[in-house]
Structure 1
Amino acid sequence: TLRLRASTHHALREGHGLGAALWYGRSDGFFTNEATGRRCDREESGGARIKYQYRGERGLRIDNTASVSLLAQGGYPYASALTGSIAYDDPCSYDRLFVSDGLTVRYDGAACSVASVTSYQYTHDDMRLDQDFLPLPYFTLRQDTRQHAVTQEVVVRSRAAEGDGYGWLCGLFGFYSRSEMQAPVLFKERGIEELILRNANAHDPEYVFSWLEPTLALDSRFRTPDAGLALYHESNYRTGRWHFTLGVRLDCEHVRLHYDSRTASRYRAVRRSDGMTLDLPLEATLRGTLRQSFAQVLPKAAVRFELGRGSDLYASVSKGYKAGGYNTQMFSDILQRELMERMGAPGGAAYDIDRVMTYRPEKSWNYELGGHVTAAAGAVRGDFALFRIDCRDQQLTVFPDGTTTGRMMTNAGRTRSLGGEASVTARIWRRLDLTLAYGYTRAVFRRYDDGRCDYRGKRIPYAPEHTASAHMAWSIPTGIGWLGDVVLAAGARGVGPIRWNEQNTLTQPFYVLLDASVRLEHPHYTLDLRGDNLCGTHYDTFHFVSMGNAFLQRGRPRTFRIALNIHL
């Protein structure tokens, strides 16, 4: 793995500055696809950024940042949960072009400041998947997406007053995005035979079916215009050691999905009784538009009490919200079932497009109590927080039963997350620093019945129960001018257990990753020698299901690196 980066900053003239950066990276990957004998997670990336700043004498500030980046990845290190091997025969890759520009204009007046933030983003994603992730010719997916997005935000806030008093801010935020996606699924020989013909032949007593073409293309095209507007206000009041905050936000969003899915092929039907043969066309088309509108009022309140010397206590309550959306990956399954119905074969339970393709907004109430502590003249600093999140219609990624090819987002009824986290940083001896952190989360379903199982009391997938870390760094002055300081560091990070499914039958146990480094620090350079996952711990970072087969994404193995930064 190689990473290169260069950046420069210049003052052009009084009040004007310009910065630029270039970067490039590549990696031959960590994991081998046993079906091809090649590394499957190779990567190459690069980009550039340029930033202009203006600082006027009368309170005017202007910042503009433009960037472009390119990414080309192989994919994906998905191992069978049954065999533990990564083996698939069709190419997988992910390519991305990202272009963005952001302009911030701010004016600080005597009574208030006004800031305008404008941004534009263009993204072109091209993903290719061997969607069965097996060394067999089932089916592939290519998902090509182009998206344009524009945002505009205006914030007006009162100038901060010293001592006690009242402060406020008001804001207006709007966005518009438009994405166009082509997502054809290509069924190959094994996929046609086992996912379509086997079911058709098993349920038709009169005919035997066969396919007249080597592949079957299920073509899907989507256009998704999305627009939203938000208006918000926050008031702050300070008296003595007390700080009070009240805020409210009104969010409105409208999103549409224009879909056009179609397929055309030919199949042969041979009558069992007399051998009469019919060559028949087979076509299916799904076209339409889905619409969703969301509006939500989001209040929040917080209070903070200063204990003195950098310590305080706080409490807050707020309402959270995440807009709904569409399950575009399910259209290939809907089209496949439509084909089977037209052949006279049962394709399973019929999909309700409006229900399967959409998922509702997620809403939550968030409660937090915590504080910050500073002791021993700043040598010891700590933070702690206790939280509770009550969520309705939580958005979850699920994988339908059977030989389906897609995944979908659905809404759980109610969930609750309780937990806490704490961290402390201390200088325990001269230049020897120690940092400890721990977090615990109990995230469970309070009400979630999908019609097949009742998951009440089960842990929510992908939410780690424990997170812990310890890090120690010792800075040693060498007294040699050209060498600088030597920094010795070591640490450990633990995560888990993580449940991968709603039934909690698949779990990533708690695991610990160890790291260590030796760094030379000098005003003009730093040289860092580092090792990660030094014990070579085997762990997984993601789980999913395709065609009823479970797969896991492997975590990175033991790695070593050397990094050199030069400051001219």
Structure 2
Amino acid sequence: MKRRILTNTTLIVGAFTLSPLSAFAQEATWQDSETWLPELMVTADKTQQTLSTAAVHATVYDAKTLQQDGVDSLAKLEGRVAGLSFQPFGQSAINSPVVRGLTANFNALSSSTLLMVDGVPTLTAQGFENNLVEIDRIEVLRGPQSTVYGRNAEVGVISIFSKDLTGDDKTILGMEVGSRDKERAQFSTSQTLLEDKVFVSLSGELFEQDGFIDNTTTGNKADDKERQNINAGLRWLVSDKTDVVARYRRQTYDDGAMLWGAPNGKRAIVASGTDSWNHSLGQTFSVNASHELPSGLRLNSVTAYNDYKDKVQQDTDFQPTENSYIGRDHHLRTLSQEFRLEGHLDQSDWLLGAYLEYQDHDLRTLSKTFFGLSDLQAEQTGNSYALFTNWTMPISHDFSMITGIRASRDKVKLKPSTEPEKSESWTELTPQLTLQYKINPHHMLYASYAEGTRTGGFNTVSPSVNYSTYDPEKNQSVEFGLKGDLSSKALRYTLAAYHMDVKNMQVMQMPTVGLIYLTNAAEATSDGLEMSLEYYFNENWSAEMGMAWNKTRFDHFMDGSKDYSGNRNPFAPEMNGHFSLRYESINGWSVAASVVGSGSVYLDAANKYQQDGYELIHVSASYPLTEKASLSAYVNNLQDRQFDAVGYQNGYVTVYSPPREYGVKFTLEL
């Protein structure tokens, strides 16, 4: 199976690599064709640009496409965005992204890829989720983005944008039923309170679904899911120069157990006598204001408060008696303020910004083993300050240069309940430089050098090493890209090749049994190729393809007496991607099918445990019943493939892959 997957993938990559070259040769053939591909916008460098001219490998999906493909969570972007995957953790609202071979341990309270929701940063794997209700689009930027976006944008940024409050008054209701007694109710409304002045929006979701893991002790499913979400927005056009948008988001979870089981037990069967649950809650509040100054300058301000309660208990022996379990009761609070000033100087566009942040985290980690109960409590606080600038300057008619730098200062304090307070600080300079060459109006080359950083911190769950610190992880990246479209815009493509050197790599060390902590003990190299293509056969049929190959290896990693040099970085697939085919009728109905695949990943630095690779088929369809009502259906994982992560948590746990899922949704616009 693995050999067949590799062979097929090689053929696809080879054909995909040749497609842009054939595009140059065939361009004249398409001159008289219609234009089908819409021009998409992307906020690379925090400025609006067209996707075809942005010197970065970016993917943009609008709400319609996501709905057609049945994507209702960030985890379902895996593979659909070439080079993006997530660690197989098995708990709702915790997603550790993997991009270009790099990821972060969730205990580090950081991520290697930053999540931005309407300008609000999520800096941890906890709360790295969105229900995708009433959104406008998702943008995924690959490669280091720390110069403009700051820490934890080490290898990329996922940005989610809500629908604009523009006075398009409407109300939409949605009802969905599906496999395992799935029930989902959604609503969204946007209304004008004061003509051309004040607009509001409100959306929400209620979701329930039975689990698939049998608990023989209770006679019930162990992993039932339940969540509620609500999003509210208010826009005030103070004047024709001043615009203020306030937003509030809330996500609550009332789930059962994680998707965990014993590695040596029967699949999806546990006998847990210890109650397992996830009662997490996340909420954010933000105010985004912009003002055009008389001089032509534009001032932007984003004030944000992010509050997440990570409340979890999970049985880890999966037996009727209470032998071992883990628990977390974290309260993570982040207050941030960003100011950006944008302007023009001759033919150059420039941006100058300042960022301030305060963190206040109450941390509690419980674990029971055969040796007793451990209850670790600590308070962690931190401050971050940064100044950054970015310039886009034309060198000639065809050449332009994009350059920027960020100076940042981070300070973290940890006060364990039984130890004296500890503090550490870091100062970083993060530059980037991109050269862009316009081959012709439809094709462009770029070459970039960029540095990315992931914040340092304390080992908050490791008193045996005196809650030691680990420094920021640094990534130096060189990337070459080719992108463009045919003159008819029936085909759009991007090719990117990169090389990254990772210093002070944050890795998990286990020098003795029971002693686990994060440290900067490794260096690594990451090389890769990424390819994306969109093609419209005609006004009805379209196809999309994305492939990513990555090779991330430890150049040096000594874990006690164990030498892991040359091993693959955990959770990093060497290949992933997708192929999607869509048909949209002139009468409004549509069908879509996609194949999403990923190579195997190792779950530990020793490369002993792994999750097998997989190929999944997803299908979906929608049909308009009236001008205001529609019916849609989907099947995810049509073949009911199993790709469990066997040996997670250093061999103690299997994380089960979700089974086939199907459902029907009715949508009504009032």
TM range (shorter): 0.7 to 0.9
Asked if 2 retains the 8 angstrom alpha-carbon contact of 1:82 and 1:550, the reply is no
Asked if 1 retains the 8 angstrom alpha-carbon contact of 2:263 and 2:646, the reply is no
Aligned amino acid, residue 550 of structure 1? Y
Residue 457 of structure 1 is aligned with which of 566, 589, 601? 566
1:353 partnered with 2:534 = no
Aligned amino acid, residue 236 of structure 1? T
Partner residue, 1:118: 303
Cα distance between partner residues in 2 of 1:174 and 1:543: 41
Cα distance between partner residues in 1 of 2:518 and 2:485: 44
What is the deviation of 1:9?
A: 0.8
2:649 alignment partner, SS class: strand
1:150 partnered with 2:335 = yes
Partner residue, 1:228: 384
Asked if 2 retains the 8 angstrom alpha-carbon contact of 1:399 and 1:545, the reply is no
- Give CA-to-partner distance per residue, 1:55-92, whole Å, 9 cap, x none: 24441111111223321111112132333544233111
Residue 576 of structure 2 is aligned with which of 467, 473, 490? 467
Asked if 2 retains the 8 angstrom alpha-carbon contact of 1:96 and 1:125, the reply is yes
| TM-score normalised by structure 2 residue count | 0.69
Residue 426 of structure 2 is aligned with which of 294, 300, 305? 294
Distance 1:53 1:456, change over 3 A: same
Partner residue, 1:79: 261
Residue 395 of structure 1 is aligned with which of 488, 491, 506? 506
Partner residue, 2:400: 243
What is the deviation of 1:26?
A: 1.2
1:499 partnered with 2:602 = yes
Asked if 2 retains the 8 angstrom alpha-carbon contact of 1:382 and 1:423, the reply is yes
- Give CA-to-partner distance per residue, 1:145-189, whole Å, 9 cap, x none: 223321111111105x8xx711211111011011112334345xx
What is the deviation of 1:38?
A: 2.3
Cα distance between partner residues in 1 of 2:654 and 2:299: 49
Asked if 2 retains the 8 angstrom alpha-carbon contact of 1:128 and 1:142, the reply is yes
Aligned amino acid, residue 397 of structure 2? G
Partner residue, 1:267: none
Describe how 1:81-96 pairs up with structure 2 within 5 A: 81-85=263-267, 86-87=269-270, 88-96=272-280
- Give CA-to-partner distance per residue, 1:115-171, whole Å, 9 cap, x none: 111111222221112244455432333321223321111111105x8xx71121111
Partner residue, 1:315: 447
Cα distance between partner residues in 2 of 1:121 and 1:462: 27
Distance 1:302 1:543, change over 3 A: farther
Asked if 2 retains the 8 angstrom alpha-carbon contact of 1:399 and 1:544, the reply is no
1:461 alignment partner, SS class: coil
Cα distance between partner residues in 2 of 1:462 and 1:84: 24
Cα distance between partner residues in 1 of 2:658 and 2:584: 29
Residue 225 of structure 2 is aligned with which of 43, 65, 70? 43
Cα distance between partner residues in 1 of 2:189 and 2:590: 26
Cα distance between partner residues in 2 of 1:63 and 1:429: 39
Residue 417 of structure 1 is aligned with which of 526, 543, 560? 526
Aligned amino acid, residue 230 of structure 1? A
Asked if 1 retains the 8 angstrom alpha-carbon contact of 2:365 and 2:376, the reply is yes
1:372 partnered with 2:483 = yes
Cα distance between partner residues in 2 of 1:235 and 1:555: 45
Residue 545 of structure 1 is aligned with which of 649, 654, 658? 649
2:461 alignment partner, SS class: helix
Distance 1:67 1:511, change over 3 A: closer
Distance 1:523 1:394, change over 3 A: farther
Partner residue, 2:193: 12
Any unmatched runs of 5+ in structure 2? 1-181
- With 409-418 and 168-177 compared, the bigger mean Cα shift is at 409-418
Cα distance between partner residues in 1 of 2:594 and 2:499: 29
Cα distance between partner residues in 1 of 2:357 and 2:376: 26
User: What RMSD over aligned residues (CA atoms) do the two structures have, in Å?
Assistant: 2.2
Aligned amino acid, residue 376 of structure 2? S
Cα distance between partner residues in 2 of 1:77 and 1:10: 41
Partner residue, 1:272: none
1:73 alignment partner, SS class: coil
Any unmatched runs of 5+ in structure 1? 196-215, 261-285, 335-351, 478-483
What is the deviation of 1:292?
A: 1.4
Asked if 2 retains the 8 angstrom alpha-carbon contact of 1:381 and 1:426, the reply is yes
Distance 1:423 1:185, change over 3 A: closer
Aligned amino acid, residue 354 of structure 2? L
Cα distance between partner residues in 2 of 1:467 and 1:303: 28
- Give CA-to-partner distance per residue, 1:398-433, whole Å, 9 cap, x none: 56653x3x8533334210110111121112244111
1:545 alignment partner, SS class: helix
Residue 382 of structure 1 is aligned with which of 493, 500, 509? 493
Aligned amino acid, residue 193 of structure 2? L
Asked if 1 retains the 8 angstrom alpha-carbon contact of 2:204 and 2:231, the reply is yes
- With 146-155 and 514-523 compared, the bigger mean Cα shift is at 514-523
Residue 236 of structure 2 is aligned with which of 54, 59, 69? 54
Asked if 1 retains the 8 angstrom alpha-carbon contact of 2:279 and 2:310, the reply is yes
Name the % identity: 20
Cα distance between partner residues in 1 of 2:235 and 2:530: 38
What is the deviation of 1:318?
A: 0.8
2:488 alignment partner, SS class: helix
Residue 555 of structure 1 is aligned with which of 657, 662, 668? 657
1:127 partnered with 2:312 = yes
1:437 partnered with 2:546 = yes
| TM-score normalised by structure 1 residue count | 0.80
What is the deviation of 1:385?
A: 0.7
Cα distance between partner residues in 1 of 2:296 and 2:479: 33
Asked if 2 retains the 8 angstrom alpha-carbon contact of 1:318 and 1:366, the reply is yes
Describe how 1:186-197 pairs up with structure 2 within 5 A: 186-187=368-369, 191=370, 195=371
What is the deviation of 1:236?
A: 1.4
- With 454-463 and 134-143 compared, the bigger mean Cα shift is at 134-143
What is the deviation of 1:436?
A: 1.6
Cα distance between partner residues in 1 of 2:314 and 2:230: 29
Equivalences, count = 483
Distance 1:566 1:408, change over 3 A: farther
Cα distance between partner residues in 1 of 2:520 and 2:669: 51
Aligned amino acid, residue 55 of structure 1? L
Cα distance between partner residues in 1 of 2:488 and 2:647: 47
- With 305-314 and 71-80 compared, the bigger mean Cα shift is at 305-314
1:105 partnered with 2:214 = no
Aligned amino acid, residue 551 of structure 1? V
Partner residue, 2:73: none
Asked if 2 retains the 8 angstrom alpha-carbon contact of 1:392 and 1:412, the reply is no
Cα distance between partner residues in 2 of 1:523 and 1:304: 46
Aligned amino acid, residue 476 of structure 1? S
Partner residue, 2:146: none
Describe how 1:64-75 pairs up with structure 2 within 5 A: 64-75=246-257
Larger Rg: 1
Aligned amino acid, residue 491 of structure 1? S
Aligned amino acid, residue 630 of structure 2? T
Asked if 1 retains the 8 angstrom alpha-carbon contact of 2:510 and 2:560, the reply is no
Cα distance between partner residues in 1 of 2:656 and 2:562: 29
Asked if 2 retains the 8 angstrom alpha-carbon contact of 1:131 and 1:139, the reply is yes
Distance 1:563 1:308, change over 3 A: farther
Partner residue, 1:205: none
Partner residue, 1:218: 374
